[in-house]
Chain A
């Protein structure tokens, strides 16, 4: 495996977890959208959904450990019927909760009050908005996606999200619209801030720039264009050992919809579970053992170590 060889060459192998600061929970793959870059390959027809027993096991982990950051992802997490229960329980335990939202979900029937619920529970929102221009966004995410996103952002701003640095957090996520790398995060954040304000009167807190991982729908796109090898070569040539230090898998553990544990959401999507020597499900969760675990890697990990690095929280180096 080329990634392992590269880590060895730079004296970074194996990558070990540092501390589990975040429990990242994928509550299901169902989504109202079918974005072209989605690593989950989420969509309306996906049936995988975290059940109540697994949700309760997640809550038990939070209650029995010092992990105080809950990062909820999907699909569109809002489709999970137990999402509100999970949030309410995690709040009672004292967790800070992040929800990764696609923004357009609030336009769906029965979802209109989610922003209010998020406000009332002090949720930090991490919202996909690949660009500040409608034409570009709709090409990746589908017709009217941008219009719905702007409508949602205005609603969130009106509720107090993304308005002031000390208030409710609303962070946006940028990713390239094709087989190229993301721009400098700080510069892109300035540009988003200026353009979203000027064009739509919308504000936010931070922008995270993510690289497109060579898995899921984006991988299919690369294969269809006969560009997978070229993209992988560019990722590997851009390996930055300094990015290894900050990659997300060192600080989080990821839970699949069925309770299986993974080192990250990308590993979950390619079925790369934890190394055999570690407890692999929520029911066997052991913070002590998992906090120093050896991370399972494959060549897609070049995506998180290329250039300025990329993680769920944007640039890592």
Chain B
């Protein structure tokens, strides 16, 4: 299959808007607005972006939000801590489902 993800593909994101342009514009406006500084600072928002990028394992988002973190003056310590938070929550989300397994055991057991 070759290289499935390419650095250049992120810059082609706009091509998605060739189809259903109204929907794409709504997405872009919403995306842009959500990252504007509000109650949360720009730094907090890009850290959230980085953590989510790792949780969903999107290579484009990881590259983009790593750069955003550096441009907010952060370093590998900030980045790694944020990825730990994302990973811990992701791991915890799996682990807490052990309760569902326990419930299932109870349901079918005498």
A 163-184 to B, binary, CB cutoff 8 A, 1 in contact else 0: 0000000000010111011111
Q: Shortest CB–CB separation between residue B35 and chain A, in angstroms?
A: 15
B 62-95 to A, binary, CB cutoff 8 A, 1 in contact else 0: 0000010011110111000000000000000000
Task: Tell me if B71 and A180 are in contact (CB < 8 A).
Answer: yes
Residue of A nearest to B74 (CB): A183
User: Which secondary structure characterizes the binding site on chain A?
Assistant: loop
Task: Tell me if B73 and A187 are in contact (CB < 8 A).
Answer: yes
Residue of A nearest to B43 (CB): A187
A-B contacts at CB below 8 angstroms, number: 26
Number of chain B residues close to chain A: CB under 8 A: 9
A 127-153 to B, binary, CB cutoff 8 A, 1 in contact else 0: 000010101100000000000000000
Q: Which residues of B contact A33 (CB under 8 A)?
A: none
Task: Tell me if B75 and A182 are in contact (CB < 8 A).
Answer: no
Task: Tell me if B67 and A191 are in contact (CB < 8 A).
Answer: no
Q: Which residues of B contact A184 (CB under 8 A)?
A: 72-73
Q: Which residues of A contact B76 (CB under 8 A)?
A: 135
Q: Which residues of B contact A183 (CB under 8 A)?
A: 71-73
Task: Tell me if B75 and A133 are in contact (CB < 8 A).
Answer: yes
Number of chain A residues close to chain B: CB under 8 A: 16
> Which residues A171-223 have CB closer than 8 A to chain B?
174, 176-178, 180-184, 187-188, 191
Q: Shortest CB–CB separation between residue A129 and chain B, in angstroms?
A: 13
> Which residues A39-68 have CB closer than 8 A to chain B?
none
Q: Which residues of A contact B70 (CB under 8 A)?
A: 176-178, 180
Q: Complex: how many Å from CA A184 to CA B41?
A: 12
Q: Shortest CB–CB separation between residue B7 and chain A, in angstroms?
A: 9
Q: Which residues of B contact A131 (CB under 8 A)?
A: 75
Q: Which residues of B contact A188 (CB under 8 A)?
A: 73
Q: Which residues of A contact B43 (CB under 8 A)?
A: 187
Q: Complex: how many Å from CA A174 to CA B72?
A: 12
Residue of A nearest to B77 (CB): A133
Q: Which residues of B contact A187 (CB under 8 A)?
A: 43, 72-73
A 220-241 to B, binary, CB cutoff 8 A, 1 in contact else 0: 0000000000000000000000
Q: Which residues of A contact B77 (CB under 8 A)?
A: 133
Q: Which residues of A contact B73 (CB under 8 A)?
A: 174, 182-184, 187-188, 191
Q: Which residues of B contact A133 (CB under 8 A)?
A: 75, 77
Residue in B67, B73, B75, B77 with the greatest tally of chain A CB atoms within 10 Å: B73
> Which residues A82-139 have CB closer than 8 A to chain B?
131, 133, 135-136
Q: Which residues of A contact B72 (CB under 8 A)?
A: 183-184, 187
Q: Which residues of A contact B75 (CB under 8 A)?
A: 131, 133, 136
Q: Shortest CB–CB separation between residue B82 and chain A, in angstroms?
A: 16
Q: Complex: how many Å from CA A135 to CA B76?
A: 10
Q: Complex: how many Å from CA A171 to CA B77?
A: 25
Q: Shortest CB–CB separation between residue B98 and chain A, in angstroms?
A: 39
Q: Shortest CB–CB separation between residue B85 and chain A, in angstroms?
A: 20
Q: Shortest CB–CB separation between residue B44 and chain A, in angstroms?
A: 12
Q: Complex: how many Å from CA A177 to CA B75?
A: 10
Known contacts A133-B77, A135-B76, then 4 further A-B pairs from the complex at CB < 8 Å, ordered by chain A residue? A133-B75, A176-B71, A180-B70, A187-B73
Give 4 nearest A-B pairs by CB, closest first.
A183-B73, A188-B73, A180-B70, A180-B67
Between-chain CB contacts (< 8 Å), 13 pairs = A131-B75, A133-B75, A133-B77, A177-B70, A180-B70, A180-B71, A182-B73, A183-B71, A183-B72, A184-B73, A187-B72, A188-B73, A191-B73
